[in-house]
Amino acid sequence: MRIDKIKINGFGKIKNKEIELKDGINIIYGENEAGKSSLMKCIQAFFYGLSKNKNGKAISDFDQYKPWEDSEFSGKIKYTLDNGEEYEIFREFKKKNPIIYQNNEDISSQFKMDKTKSIHFLEEQTGIDENLFCNTAIISQQEVKLEKADTNAIVQKISNLVSTGDDTISFKKSMDTLNKWQNEKIGTERTKEKPINIANDNIKKLTNERDNLKNGKQSLINYATQKEHIVLELQELQGKKDKLKQEKQVSNDNEIKNVEMKLKIKIGIFLGIFFFAISVLLFVLKKIGIAMIPAILGLITVIAILKMRQQKAKNSNLDTSKIEKEIEKIDVKMNDLKLKNTLMDAEKSKIDESLEKLIKIEETLEEQKRIKEELLSLETSYLIAKEALSKAYEEIKNNLNPKFEQKLCEITSNITDGKYKNITINDESGLLVEVQNGAYMPVDRLSVGTIDEMYLALRLSILSEISKEKMPILFDETFAYFDNHRLKNIICHLQDENYDNQIVIFTCSNREEQVLNQLKIEYNLISLEN
């Protein structure tokens, strides 16, 4: 892939600038603050857009690179793929999507859009996303500058680059981080006071409380049954009591009638005696016909007296005292039932309270179960993530490491004058280099300058393996800390007949020009001073 032409209407401090790049080596020269970093960022932004998110920085890239002057925030880049197809990308940086032209025709719709509705055209064409582009195709001074005290840091970067394809990501640290997050955010059976332990303890405690309070439900059922029986029994007793009261009232009425009847009986007896006495007197006087009249009246009186006595006897069968005793018994029983009812009502209040508590406990229990399910789901996610990370690591190691090693050996041999030809990688020791006596030595035992060279070589070897295209390589003051001999070796390697990536060197010195002139290598010089 080759970048052919860049047109910048406005980007940072750059305004109305056109730059043409060629195959081979291009040197973009400019003093400090001339706009070299802005130009490099602009190339990246043409391909991948400009983020408005701060991503942990004080200011977003979008705000940082807005034109200093009131000019159009846009531009166009032209590039050619390995197969010769030419494309032009116009970007209005305030908008999410670019316009993609081929043969002056808008073909933007031919490329897929993700959920953010952004066109990732270069990723489709090359297989390189923005993160990989920044970690391989762009090599800045800070990434090869190495003080002696920072040797371990750069060795770690090399190890990261080998194991994950990204020098900022360590497989071991990533796995340790996942394990740490899993332990902190979930926990295990052996941990204490972790979310899963707290959830399990809460579920166990709430389950016991719920089971104890479940008896309240049965108590409430029993209460309702007993309450119904008491009400029915009270109604039945009240009916009996009302009936006894009626009987008592009848008995009282009969007593009054008996008094009246007793008086009538006495009067009847007197009348009967009187009638029989007259009848006897008239018989004595031999007035038999007349004597029959009082005799009949006396007989009638006797019959009446007998009936009244019979009625009196009948009325006397109702014993008021017995009725009152029955009523008293009923009252006692009703009072007992009413007291029991009152006590049950009081007990029901407690049952209601426990049932309300039970409802809250069941709600809390369900919430704790939900939390536990979420934790278990999160744990599954962590396990999946760790498994995927391990598989990806093994895949990189098995599929790419041999290629890395071969390419790395080739590049390292070229740029170290054949001093280091064999390099191997293993999980325990990391990067090992064969020294002159044949022993393999950890890379951190080498000189700082050699480690710098190997780090650069490793990035170049990775780029050659991960892309569908031979990507342009942008060096941003990369060689500022290389001595002239190392710089010469690097440039010779970059101009090797088997190495035909387009090279763009951003620099504020003329060291690269001098080396290229000494080696009689053609290059394209672009100055940002004008």
pLDDT 10s digits, 484-493 = 888 888 888 8
User: Has this prediction a pTM greater than 0.85?
Assistant: no
Higher pLDDT, 384 or 453: 384
pLDDT at 296: 74
**How far, in Å, CA of 473 to CA of 276, rounded?**
160
The 3-state secondary structure of 154-189 reads HHHHHHHHHHHCCCCCCHHHHHHHHHHHHHHHCCCC
What is the DSSP code (8-state) at residue 13? T
Do the beta carbons of residue 496 and residue 195 sit within 8 Å? no
**Rounded mean pLDDT, 285-314:** 69
Amino acid identity at 468:
K
Region 199-210 average pLDDT: 86
Residue 475, number of CB atoms within 10 A of its CB: 24
- Residue 71, SS3? coil
Tell me 113's DSSP state.
Answer: B
Give the per-residue pLDDT at 175.
Answer: 81
Give tens-digit pLDDT for 375-410.
Answer: 888 888 888 988 887 887 776 666 555 666 677 787
Closest CA to 194 of 206, 180, 204: 180
Dist. CA 18–CA 45, nearest whole Å:
16
pLDDT digits (tens, 9 = 90+) for 12-67: 889 999 999 999 999 999 888 888 889 999 999 999 999 888 877 889 989 999 99
**Is pLDDT of 434 > 90?**
no
500 vs 78, higher pLDDT: 78
* Cβ atoms 44, 474 nearer than 8 A: no
Q: Name residues whose C-beta falls within 8 Å of residue 385's C-beta, 6 or more positions apart in sequence.
A: 178
Whether the per-residue pLDDT at 424 is higher than 50: the answer is yes
pLDDT at 92 (0 to 100): 94
- How high does pLDDT run on average in the chain? 78
Which position has the higher pLDDT, 460 or 360?
360
* Residue 148 pLDDT exceeds 50: no
| pLDDT given for residue 20 in this prediction | 96
- Determine the average pLDDT of the residues in 281-298: 70
* pLDDT of res. 18: 94
**What dihedral angle (degrees, nearest 10) is formed by the CA atoms of 146, 150, 152, 153?**
-80
CB 120 within 8 A of CB 129: yes
Spell out a b/e string for 256-272, using b for 16 or more CB atoms within 10 Å of the CB, else e.
Answer: eebeebeeebeebeebb
506/52 Cα distance (integer angstroms)? 26
Which residue would you say has higher pLDDT here, 224 or 503? 503
Mean pLDDT value across residues 271-294: 70
Residue 446 has pLDDT above 70, yes or no: yes
Domain boundaries, the chain: 220-318
Query: What's the pLDDT at 282?
Result: 72
pLDDT at position 406, please?
A: 74
314-341 exposure pattern, b = at least 16 Cβ within 10 A, e = fewer: ebeebeeeebeebbeebeeebeebeeee
- What is the structure's pLDDT at 119? 83
pLDDT, mean of residues 57-79:
89
